[in-house]
Structure 1
Amino acid sequence: MTPTLTPATPTSLDLLRQYHHSPSIGLRNQIVQLNQGLVQKIAHRVSHQCSEPFEDLAQLGYLGLIRAIERFEPHHGYAFSSFAVPYIRGEMLHFLRDRSATLKIPRRIKDLQKSAHRTQETLRINLQRRPTAQEIAAHLNISLQDWQELQLADRNRFPLSLDSTFSPYSDVPVPLGDTLVDEHYQSCQRSEEDRQQLQAALAQLEIRDRTVLEWVFIQGLSRKEVAQRIGVSPITVSRWIQQSMQQLMTILQSPLQLSA
């Protein structure tokens, strides 16, 4: 009696080659089933680093796996699992980044916040009214102050919109964005004030000293070129510059002289 040969089970790489040449949903689903252990392993690892349920992360991982299947090139010769891991993990992390708050809350606080939400709902049903802060704190076995700080952390973990308004001095609402300091404008304003002060100080110098400073520091002439224009030695020009700079510093440090 001739033994019956059982056909070999196709490997993930065999199916990927077939899918590369003739893609179909059936082939893709087979590849997904063969690699579901990889998705679950990554989802299990990520679930211990965040508060999202394992099942939700696994569903995201399957989306990443499908993306990897669509982009995998079998002829390159590398393992599909190594290729797929960044896609699977990336899909989960991308979701977590979109959901995450700007302010990072410790895992212990997040777990307590979840318990607090469940406690509030349970007490509301049992008491047929909205529970008080003392009742919630007692049910969670924490102090009233801890419960208030927990509520504050929950409210402040997401950033305020710059379009949100408040009324600091009147009944007219003011957008939050309008109250922010424009650092560029302030920098330009300070530069303009410095320029005006410098011009006022230069105006108090002798014409010769002011001209020498402008030639050297504004027009960029060398001391030798300035000396040739005036008909003196470069050493003399250097001495004039030093004296003029000292006089400028004295004027700038004296508000009375600047306002004169």
Structure 2
Amino acid sequence: MYTAKGTLNRDDQLRKYSPLVRRLAHHMIAKLPPSVEIDDLIQVGMIGLTEAIARFEPAQGVQFETFASQRIRGAMIDELREGDWMSRGSRKSQKDIEGAVHRLQQKLHRAPLESEIAKELGMTLVDYQSLLAKVRGTQLVYLEDISGHGDDEDSFLDRHMGETDAEPSAVLQDQRMRTALVAAIKVLPDREQQIMSMYYEHDMNLKEIAAVLGVTESRICQLHSQSIARLRAKLREH
């Protein structure tokens, strides 16, 4: 494991912890738009692992895997930021939709209709559906939630963190979060429940879902984006 100089053997550590890089990349890719390539995350993660090996000091009293995980994920997040994987406009649109859904849920005590969301945003139904299509790739967890540098200091994920330095990946495993998510999915409109089930549980892509439901792929994209907005709005209540 160590060289004659007392440092970690780089090649041995790269071989041993490359599966960790792949595991972290797959965890992160599940929260990101389809435009992000898993191979790109793995490549950047390996660079992060290399840096972790070079910088690790056993005297610090931290396990190498914990230290490396932080470096690997940090490298991936930095790469995503630099690549501007989602424009500021798209992020703002997502948050506007989410805010409208949240306000209507509080007011109506039920899942709002598309037409009601459009009206809340001051838009026509056609313009609202067009906006949903433009924010294609919307996800349950934003990059800001993962990195902890979002505009909202009290994001819904923060409420499920036991400690401020807890691993974000562990947050998503939190039972309260899972329970809240399951409950939120159950109150989605039936068609959106179907889409979420096929997309996340059965790993079907939007084109395949569209074929099963007999609608266009763009319509599935709209409903998927809207479902995510509903879920995030609902989770904020917990």
TM bracket, shorter-chain basis? 0.3 to 0.5
Instruction: Pick 1 or 2: higher relative contact order, CA cutoff 8 A, min separation 6.
Output: 2
TM-score normalised by length of structure 1: 0.33
Larger radius of gyration: 1
